[in-house]
């Protein structure tokens, strides 16, 4: 996962060591000595994540976070604290001021990188929501239901009922959410019942050196099931179980905490996760409203051309602000008319729905997927290099070619996909709607080259950077 990470640390040795670690993991790095330098470079560098040394998390840190929030663009930048604190109250103050998490030193590289990956995934989701909101406003639809946030519901999942009840009482007492206690088995049998907004998975009794297979399986099962996949997950682990924490985050946990942390800190994390869940629910509710019919394709559920063009304008604006590329793909199902003529329109619709589902499930949260014609689709990938866009297109092409979309008298119904890609720099998309249309035209031209070369091919346009 690519991204630009800003480091704020007054000690040059610390900055150098951390920079090397992040460069090896293929992140761009922006080292800064203090908050003044960080703020001065913010507009030019536009980091995706900020790492702050704990010695800097004092009164100046609160001011720094306030400055980050001045513009809604900067609100999306998560801040991760690194280092030790004198006591738990100092950690709580840093979290309350705006740090999304604290990683004590010396830290495990695997856990640091897992936390970064998780925070960048959350950043992509937040940016996708922000751009969608802007697109809805541009199309003339008002944003729904902001304002007071309900406390939310919490399920404490553990085998020790008494321990779960005590933690639930703490959450209820501090108004972090209405909490109930259940076993792991009960958590996986909630079909048809009210689903909690947050699962707190209590794995404190698991040995720190354990592989934690049962915990990992529970995280993955909750994340994969339709009923519970959108719920937040906070995993409480034994003190020092850094490797387990890294694995939990990569499997889909929203956040982790350790048993030696103050209970109030876990409550604060729970509140943050509940607030994020409420925001995501609002976005999903808006898409289920009448707006959905206006901006989505009724057959596939993908966005339609009207929405795609407005959304692309927002992506183009972001490309200009960040100075990063915007990749656009136009994809076409090969010989689709032949499928309709041979097997009927019902089979054709089945193919369109299946292809749309594969495209939707195999791209990032921030990527745009739309159906813009009969058998033609459009994908926009912000902050993507030519190599990344081509790799994504090849992956989609191969998945489509290997999939079955129904059965016929001749066997499984299979299709292939031709793809054209155009890569626009900030200079190329700055022309507003005309610049976007030129970019789509370049991708469309590349698509016709794929068709002419025999179909089931990915072609990168001549204008790509």
Residue 195 pLDDT exceeds 60: yes
Say which residue, 125 or 376, is predicted with more confidence. Answer: 376
pLDDT at 291: 60
Topology classification of domain 296-460 = Alpha-Beta Plaits (3.30.70)
Flag the least confident range among 135-144, 295-304, 382-391: 135-144
> Which tens digit of pLDDT belongs to each residue from 160-187?
776 777 777 777 765 666 788 898 999 9
pLDDT at 259: 87
pLDDT at 286: 61
Q: What is the b/e burial string over 375-399, where b = at least 16 CB atoms within 10 angstroms of the residue's CB?
A: bbbbbbbbbbbbeebbebbeebbee
Which of 274, 267, 219, 273 has the alpha carbon at shortest distance from 244?
219
Topology classification of domain 4-138 = Rossmann fold (3.40.50)
Contact 412, 347 (CB under 8 A): no
Say which residue, 426 or 336, is predicted with more confidence. Answer: 336
Which residues are registered as beta bridge partners of 296?
303
Neighbour tally for 400: CB within 10 Å = 24
Please count the CA atoms within 13 angstroms of the CA of 195 that sit on its side-chain side: 18
pLDDT at 145: 45
Distances (CA, A) of 332 to 366, 421, 443, 459: 22, 12, 11, 12
Residue 139 pLDDT exceeds 70: no
Which of 141, 172, 132, 144 has the alpha carbon at shortest distance from 156?
172
Query: Cα(440)–Cα(315) distance, rounded to whole angstroms?
Result: 13
Query: Cα(103)–Cα(246) distance, rounded to whole angstroms?
Result: 12
DSSP for 376-435, please give it.
EEEEEEET--HHHHHHHHHHHHHHHHH----EETTEE----EEEEEEEE-HHHHTTTHHH
Q: Chain centroid to CA 2: how far?
A: 13
* Mean pLDDT value of segment 306-320: 86
Q: CATH 3.40.50.2300 residue ranges in the chain?
A: 4-138, 153-289
pLDDT at 83: 85
Q: What homologous superfamily does CATH list for 153-289?
A: Response regulator (3.40.50.2300)
> Which tens digit of pLDDT belongs to each residue from 320-368?
877 888 999 999 999 999 999 999 999 999 999 999 999 999 998 889 9
* Mean pLDDT value of segment 445-452: 95
Residue 209 pLDDT exceeds 50: yes
**Token duo for residue 48:** 């995706």
Contact 364, 384 (CB under 8 A): no
pLDDT at 59: 64
* Confidence band of 9 (pLDDT split at 50, 70, 90): very high
Contact 280, 354 (CB under 8 A): no
Neighbour tally for 463: CB within 10 Å = 17
Average pLDDT, rounded, for the chain:
85
DSSP for 197-241, please give it.
SEEEEE-TTS-TTS--HHHHHHHHHHHHSTTTTTSEEEEEE-TT-
> Which tens digit of pLDDT belongs to each residue from 20-35?
999 999 999 999 999 9
Going edge to edge, which strands form the sheet with 79-82?
28-32, 4-8, 49-53, 79-82, 101-103
Q: Model-level pTM?
A: 0.63
> Which tens digit of pLDDT belongs to each residue from 246-269?
999 999 999 999 988 888 888 888
Residue 238 pLDDT exceeds 80: yes
Q: Which residues contact 453 (CB under 8 A, 6 or more apart)?
A: 459
Query: Cα(95)–Cα(79) distance, rounded to whole angstroms?
Result: 10
Angle at 445 between CA 440 and CA 449, to 5 degrees: 145
Helix (H) and strand (E) counts for the chain? 17, 17
* 459: three-class secondary structure by DSSP: strand
Flag the least confident range among 5-14, 34-43, 62-71, 412-421: 62-71
* Confidence band of 465 (pLDDT split at 50, 70, 90): very low
**Token duo for residue 424:** 């626009």
Share of the chain above pLDDT 90, in %: 45
Residue 144 pLDDT exceeds 50: no
> Which tens digit of pLDDT belongs to each residue from 370-425?
999 999 999 999 988 899 999 999 999 999 999 999 888 878 999 999 999 999 87
Residue 58 pLDDT exceeds 80: no
pLDDT at 138: 65
**Token duo for residue 399:** 């998945």
Residue 132 pLDDT exceeds 60: yes
Q: CATH 3.30.70.270 residue ranges in the chain?
A: 296-460
Say which residue, 209 or 42, is predicted with more confidence. Answer: 42
> Where is mean pLDDT largest: 86-100, 376-390, 434-448?
376-390
Share of the chain above pLDDT 70, in %: 85
* Mean pLDDT value of segment 183-203: 88
Q: Which residues contact 378 (CB under 8 A, 6 or more apart)?
A: 305, 308, 328, 329, 330, 331, 368, 369, 370, 371, 372, 440, 443
Q: Residue 175 class from Cβ within 10 Å (0-12 exposed, 13-18 middle, 19+ buried)?
A: exposed
Q: What is the b/e burial string over 3-33, where b = at least 16 CB atoms within 10 angstroms of the residue's CB?
A: bbbbbbbeeeebbeebbeebeebebebbbbe
Q: What is the b/e burial string over 337-354, where b = at least 16 CB atoms within 10 angstroms of the residue's CB?
A: eebbeebeeebbebbbeb
φ/ψ of residue 92, rounded to 5: -60, -40
Which residues are registered as beta bridge partners of 230?
none
Residue 284 pLDDT exceeds 70: no
Angle at 137 between CA 134 and CA 142, to 5 degrees: 125
Q: Which residues contact 253 (CB under 8 A, 6 or more apart)?
A: 118, 201, 219, 233, 234, 235
């Amino acid at each position: 996962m690519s991204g630009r990470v800003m480091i704020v640390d007054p000690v040059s040795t610390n900055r150098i060591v951390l920079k090397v670690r992040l460069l090896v993991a293929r992140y761009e790095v922006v080292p800064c000595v203090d908050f003044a330098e960080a703020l001065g470079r913010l507009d030019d560098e536009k980091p995706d994540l900020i790492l702050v040394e704990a010695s800097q998390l004092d009164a100046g840190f609160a001011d720094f976070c306030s400055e980050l929030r001045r513009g809604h663009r900067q609100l999306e930048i998560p801040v991760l604290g690194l280092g030790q604190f004198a006591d738990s109250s100092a950690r709580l103050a840093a979290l309350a001021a705006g740090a999304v998490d604290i990683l004590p030193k010396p830290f495990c590289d695997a856990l640091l990188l897992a936390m970064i990956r998780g925070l960048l995934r959350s950043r992509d989701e937040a940016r996708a929501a922000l751009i969608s909101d802007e697109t809805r406003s541009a199309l003339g639809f008002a944003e729904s239901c902001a304002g007071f946030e309900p406390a939310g519901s919490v399920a404490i999942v553990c085998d020790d009922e008494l321990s779960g009840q005590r933690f639930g009482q703490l959450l209820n007492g501090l108004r972090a959410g209405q909490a109930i206690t259940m076993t792991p088995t009960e958590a996986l049998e909630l079909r048809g019942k009210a689903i909690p907004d947050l699962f707190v998975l209590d794995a404190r009794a698991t040995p720190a050196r354990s592989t934690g297979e049962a915990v990992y399986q529970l995280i993955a099962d909750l994340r994969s099931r339709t009923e519970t996949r959108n719920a937040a997950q906070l995993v409480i682990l034994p003190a020092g179980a850094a490797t387990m924490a890294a694995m939990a985050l990569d499997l889909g946990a929203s956040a982790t905490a350790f048993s030696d942390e103050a209970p109030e800190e876990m409550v604060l994390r729970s509140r943050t996760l509940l607030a994020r869940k409420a925001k995501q629910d609002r976005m999903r509710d808006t898409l289920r409203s009448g707006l959905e019919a206006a901006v989505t394709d009724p057959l596939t559920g993908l966005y339609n051309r009207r929405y795609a063009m407005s959304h692309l304008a927002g992506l183009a604006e972001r490309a200009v602000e960040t100075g990063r590329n915007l990749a656009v793909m136009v994809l076409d199902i090969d010989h689709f008319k032949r499928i309709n003529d041979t097997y009927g329109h019902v089979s054709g619709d089945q193919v369109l729905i299946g292809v749309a589902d594969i495209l939707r499930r195999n791209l990032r949260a921030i990527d745009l997927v739309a159906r813009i014609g009969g058998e033609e689709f459009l994908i926009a990938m912000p902050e993507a290099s030519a190599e990344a866009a081509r790799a994504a297109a090849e992956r989609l092409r191969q998945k489509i070619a290997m999939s079955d979309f129904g059965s016929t008298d001749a066997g499984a119904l299979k299709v292939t996909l031709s793809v054209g890609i155009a890569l626009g720099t900030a200079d190329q998309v700055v022309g507003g709607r005309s610049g976007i249309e030129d970019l789509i035209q370049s991708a469309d031209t590349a698509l016709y080259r794929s068709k002419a070369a025999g179909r089931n091919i990915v072609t990168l346009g001549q204008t790509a950077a």
